[in-house]
Amino acid sequence: MLIMDLPSQEPLRRASAFIVGVVVGSLFCFCCLKWLDADTFQIAKMEKQFVFPVNSGLLPSLPLEGALPETALSDHNMSEIAHVESTMVADAIAKDVRVFCWVLTGMANHKTRAVHVKATWLKRCNGFMFGSSMKDESLGAVDLGVPEGRPFLWRKTVKAFSHIYERHLNDYDWFLKADDDTYVIVENLRLLLLSYNPNSSVYLGSNLRHPNHQKYMSGGAGYVLSRNAEVGPEDMLMGKALEFAGIRPSDSLDVYGRPRFFPLSPQFQLHPRPPDKKLSWLYTFSQYPMRPGLNCCSDFAISFHYVEPDLMYVLEYFIYHLRPFGVLLVPFNRLSLKNTSHIEVMRIASSFAATFNKAKI
């Protein structure tokens, strides 16, 4: 009789074990998230010590709220001789290194920040969207169904990546996350990505290390995931989730050991003054030594954080329009490339990337 009862008790035992596992696992995850959220809050609290307005009270703030005039949204003097065929190499690489960019924003920032991101660097991505809590078709903003506020960054980021992977995973090779006060030089991002395989698990950005030895990327400086790295939370939570999935941060330094993703604005990164004591948290968290002055940054820098809207237009002009006559700005002679095939252009670009990029996969 006992022997005949055993089979009927087995499903009950399995169900009980499953329920116990779910309860224990849920409690474990809850405790981990509460601990990580506390750390994330402390980091955010320390960051506020050094955030300052770009004008610093010396200049009047520019009226950049609301819709932009068409002249601001169009490319300046692209038909002039200095610009003729100047994007030939960048255009060729963009066909092979397809980057989808998504920008974390909120409904309060649509007209004050996000619109200026769209008017400047975002148009150089192969595809893009804004992850928000309100739909805005004119902006390209998606309502992720998550409340506003820092406590919900994890959920908003997870929902954004889920939205992207469900709709765009097979159309792009790389997925960049940035904030609405991040400025990205997309062409330099593609230069870095030339040395990596999108079908491998790759996670790149501004390398930080928490005192508990957890490695992660600064969310504000932007980070990029390969097509194969299909996971999603924010900043340190992102790093923890990816580490559990066996995906570790990759090295984005150039051949001279200089960083390319920056968690601060360019005017701070480039200033020759000694390190500010208020930034002790950043020097503690940064995985690599921070250097003041022009040696702070790679000549092919990729991103800067805490960039105000007016500075975005300054960077647009300095990077894409200002030309010192007689100085060659790229390692290619564009005239010699005029009749060169796409395959040959990519070979030359990949050869340069192999030399300039420190880490390769």
For the segment 177-194, what is each residue's pLDDT rounded down to a tens digit?
999 999 999 999 999 999
* 341 occurs within a structural domain: no
- Across the range 137-147, mean pLDDT stands at 92
Looking up residue 136, the CATH number of its domain turns out to be 3.90.550
Instruction: Please spell the DSSP secondary structure of 191-247, one letter per residue.
Output: HHHTTS-TTS--EEE-EEE-TTS-EEE-STT-EEEETT------HHHHHHHHHHTT-
275, amino acid identity: P
Scored b (16 or more CB within 10 A) or e, 126-163 reads: bbbbbbbbbebeebbbbebebeeeeebbbebbbbbbeb
Q: Which residue has the higher pLDDT, 20 or 73?
A: 73
* 40 occurs within a structural domain: no
For the segment 312-348, what is each residue's pLDDT rounded down to a tens digit?
999 999 999 888 887 765 556 554 666 788 888 888 8
* 311 occurs within a structural domain: yes
For the segment 3-58, what is each residue's pLDDT rounded down to a tens digit?
344 345 554 454 444 444 434 444 444 444 444 444 444 444 444 443 434 333 33
- Quickly list H helices, the chain: 2-47, 70-73, 88-96, 115-119, 153-168, 186-193, 235-244, 266-269, 280-285, 309-320, 342-356
Please give the DSSP secondary-structure letter assigned to residue 154: H
Least confident of 23-37, 90-104, 217-231: 23-37
Predicted local confidence at residue 59, as pLDDT: 41
* 240 occurs within a structural domain: yes
Average pLDDT along the chain: 73
Predicted local confidence at residue 66, as pLDDT: 54
* 223 occurs within a structural domain: yes
Does pTM top 0.95 for this prediction?
no
Q: Please say whether the beta carbons of 187 and 175 come within 8 A.
A: no
* 205 occurs within a structural domain: yes
* 338 occurs within a structural domain: no
Q: Which residue has the higher pLDDT, 337 or 117?
A: 117
pLDDT exceeds 90 at position 260? no
Angle, CA of 207, 264 and 44, to the nearest 5°: 75
Q: Which two tokens stand for residue 359?
A: 């880490």
Range of the domain at 198: 70-323
- Across the range 106-135, mean pLDDT stands at 95
In the chain, the number of structural domains is 1
* 275 occurs within a structural domain: yes
